[in-house]
Amino acid sequence: MPRLDGMRAVVTGASRGVGRAIALAYAREGAALVVTGRSARGLEGVIRACREAGASCAPVVLDLADPASVDHAADAAVAALGRVDVVVNNAGVLGSRRPLAEADPDEVGHVVAVNLAGTLRLTQRLLPHLADGGAVISVTSGAAGRARWAGYAVSKLGLEGMTAMLREELADRGIRAVAVNPGPARTDMRAAAHPGEDPATVPHPSALVEPFLAIAEGADPGPRVEAAEWGRG
């Protein structure tokens, strides 16, 4: 029996990187999916791969910086799935790596709008349709709150706070809100953040999906977990 047989999941930022790896892992384990990305064309590859794995998979275009797009995406996801069991908040932008004191406030605002405010809005819109006992999984970063990472660090620190608050507020429904740090992964965002790094020295995103599967399946590791440490005891 597939681990996620009959489950219904929304995965944002699924066109590439960690989001794509999570979507494919969910598809292979029997989940029905809505996957989001910033363009329909960008989602074609992951849609094809998920369907080849035997999963029902619907694409939804989403711009987290645009409230109207967020609302439309939430409505489209509910229309496609009916019930939602898991929300994976993976979509995000990096912005410039620089000291926060020197950062462009408009750019910081944009990064926070995407990574935090838009993510919160989407989650809020999906919560009435999230099954009791379901999960909200937020993809965080080791850069959360780290100096010289400007808006990205601010937004990920806020995302961790948002997730912890939802965990407490939704406990009476049995909803598990967990922030997962995938750690270093071979992604375009990682390459932009660390331009001198050899990509072969960091794991492929597919090697980091186990905690996302386990939480969707029902595990509750606490408010925050490191993917690289998963299963070490």
Q: What domain range is 118 assigned to?
A: 8-219
pLDDT of residue 233: 55
Amino acid at 209: V
> Is 199 domain-assigned?
yes
CATH number of the domain encompassing residue 124: 3.40.50.720
Q: What is the mean pLDDT of the chain?
A: 96
Identify whether 117 is part of a domain. yes
The answer to whether residue 209 scores a pLDDT higher than 60 is yes
Contact 30, 217 (CB under 8 A): no
Identify the bridge partners of residue 9 per DSSP, sorted by sequence position.
33, 86
Least confident of 35-39, 179-183, 203-207: 203-207
Decide if 169 is inside a domain: yes
129-143 pLDDT, tens digit each: 999 999 999 999 999
- From 7, 63, 93, 152, the catalytic residue: 152
Q: How confident is the model at residue 70 (pLDDT cuts 50, 70, 90)?
A: very high
Q: Is 26 a catalytic residue?
A: no
pLDDT of 186 reads: 86
Does 224 map to a domain?
Answer: no
Count of Cβ atoms closer than 10 Å to residue 96 Cβ:
15
Mean pLDDT across 160-189? 95
Asked if residue 2 is part of any domain, the answer here is no
Number of domains in the chain: 1
Q: Does 53 fall in a domain?
A: yes
- Is 70 exceeded by the pLDDT of residue 75? yes
